[in-house]
Amino acid sequence: MLNIRRKFLGLVVATVAAVSVSAISAQAASTKEELNTDANQALQKLISTNPTAADISKKAKAVLIFPNIIKAGLVFGGAYGEGVLQQTGAVDGYYNSITASWGLQIGGQSYGYVVFLMSDKAVKYIHETHGWEIGVGPTVVVVNEGVAKNLSSTTLKDDAYAFIFDQQGLMASLSLEGTKISHIHNP
């Protein structure tokens, strides 16, 4: 009986891994033009539906936009997506977002996120590092409804503000902790 459970669990893990790899491969196949279009649409949608994001966007030095992150997991999980760094309205580079996790988790989902870089320190950091691990380096505040109620243009003091949006699918827990953002040369 124990042997059957192990085989079943192995099959489930292999299936989740295969689905994750194919989803990640499909996501990575975007062209620069598609990624730019998706990023612009995602940013406009966020700004038009979230007044706090709209206010913060006016003060941001740069904006990092990941329009589509694919996440899957069964005890061990991962997420991947590609995004665009925009500064003064122009593309300033392409980045990927990779997250690895483990723990009590099962399922899959997609979502997008935008990070508003508010300081020269944050912009410089993303340009000079070979990978920005969220939680290390500039301070990133993930803005949810509770945080948004206390933010105004006069209270913005952190280096970066992240907004997660368009969540679809079923998976417990969603955060940016453990996420690494790295520059890519050819998306």
DSSP state letter for 186:
-
Rounded Cα distance, 8 and 185, in Å? 40
Separation in Å, CA 169 to CA 7, 70, 121: 26, 10, 35
What is the 3-state secondary structure of 106-164? Answer: EEEEEEEEEEEECCHHHHHHHHHCCCEECCCCCCEEECCHHHHHCCCCCCCCCCEEEEE
Please answer whether residues 136 and 84 qualify as being in contact, where contact means their C-beta atoms are separated by less than 8 angstroms: no
pTM: 0.75
* pLDDT on residue 101: 81
Q: Which two tokens stand for residue 134?
A: 């969220």
* pLDDT on residue 15: 43
Cα–Cα nearest to 117, from 56, 40, 41: 56
Cα–Cα nearest to 162, from 128, 121, 116: 116
* pLDDT on residue 90: 93
Q: pLDDT tens across 126-168, in order? A: 888 777 766 555 666 677 544 444 444 444 567 888 888 888 8
* pLDDT on residue 4: 53
Domain that holds residue 33: 2-184
- Both ends of the chain: CA-CA distance in Å? 47
pLDDT band (50, 70, 90) for residue 68: very high
Of residues 133 and 91, more confidence is placed in 91
Number of structural domains in the chain: 1
